[in-house]
């Protein structure tokens, strides 16, 4: 990752990992793709390397990110999907020139058009969001229990009871806060009788 920028939070589900490029939405928000080159970097990590990115393409990516976040949040709480979010997701899905490729190892990769455009990569992310939100994959959408995060994530745990978008960030932060609160309580002077 490039120096001077916050690290990416990487997950196994493309669409919800993409929404994680803006974290701590209900606290001190952290923008992880503040410049076009950071979007190029993030896409490359997920095998969606593009040739370049303009400011307008970055803004379109952020619009898709926020639309996926809104739709995934609505789906997680079993609310109606916002029509504007659905429209952006569908538009982005339809605008790309991509093909699914099967490797000899039995893995699926995405082949972007040539030249590889941001719109092609966004179409892959939008298609992934559609499959997750439509319930086509084994798992469930949930919201992070951290009050400052509340990110939508895709829970594929056996019990489907995962509470945190990422145990290494939100989960550990909450466990540490609980531990410190218990320590303070245990070390508080006993009330005078």
Residue 6 falls inside a structural domain: no
Residue 3 falls inside a structural domain: no
* Phi-psi sector, 190: left (phi>0), alpha (psi -120 to 50), beta: beta
Do residues 86 and 110 lie in contact, with contact meaning Cβ atoms separated by under 8 Å?
A: no
Do residues 156 and 139 lie in contact, with contact meaning Cβ atoms separated by under 8 Å?
A: yes
Residue 192 falls inside a structural domain: no
| Threshold 0.85, pTM exceeds | no
Domain with 26, as residue range(s), is: 14-187
Q: What is the CATH number of the domain that holds 119?
A: 1.10.3300.10
Question: How far is the C-alpha of 15 from the C-alpha of 68, rounded, in Å?
Answer: 7
Mind listing the pLDDT tens digit of every residue in the chain (193 residues)?
455 666 777 778 999 999 999 988 888 888 999 999 999 999 999 999 999 999 999 999 999 999 999 999 999 999 999 999 999 999 999 998 998 889 899 988 888 988 899 999 999 999 999 999 999 888 889 888 888 888 888 888 888 888 887 766 776 666 666 656 666 666 666 666 6
Domain count for the chain, please give it.
Answer: 1
């Amino acid at each position: 990752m490039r120096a001077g920028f916050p690290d990416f939070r990487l997950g196994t589900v493309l669409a919800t990992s993409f929404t994680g490029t803006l974290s701590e939405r209900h606290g001190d928000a952290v923008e992880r793709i503040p410049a076009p080159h950071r979007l190029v970097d993030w896409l490359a990590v997920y095998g969606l390397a593009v040739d370049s990115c303009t400011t307008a393409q970055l803004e379109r990516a952020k619009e898709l990110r926020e639309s996926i976040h809104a739709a995934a949040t609505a789906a997680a709480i079993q609310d109606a999907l916002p029509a504007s979010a659905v429209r952006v997701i569908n538009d982005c899905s339809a605008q790309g020139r991509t093909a699914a490729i099967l490797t000899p190892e039995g893995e699926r990769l995405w082949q972007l058009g040539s030249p590889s455009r941001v719109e092609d990569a966004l179409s892959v992310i939008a298609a992934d969001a559609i499959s997750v939100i439509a319930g086509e994959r084994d798992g469930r959408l949930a919201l992070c229990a951290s009050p400052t995060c509340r990110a939508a994530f895709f829970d594929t745990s056996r019990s489907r009871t995962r509470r945190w978008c990422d145990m290494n960030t939100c989960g550990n932060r909450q466990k540490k806060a609980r531990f410190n609160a218990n320590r303070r309580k245990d070390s508080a002077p006993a009330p005078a009788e």
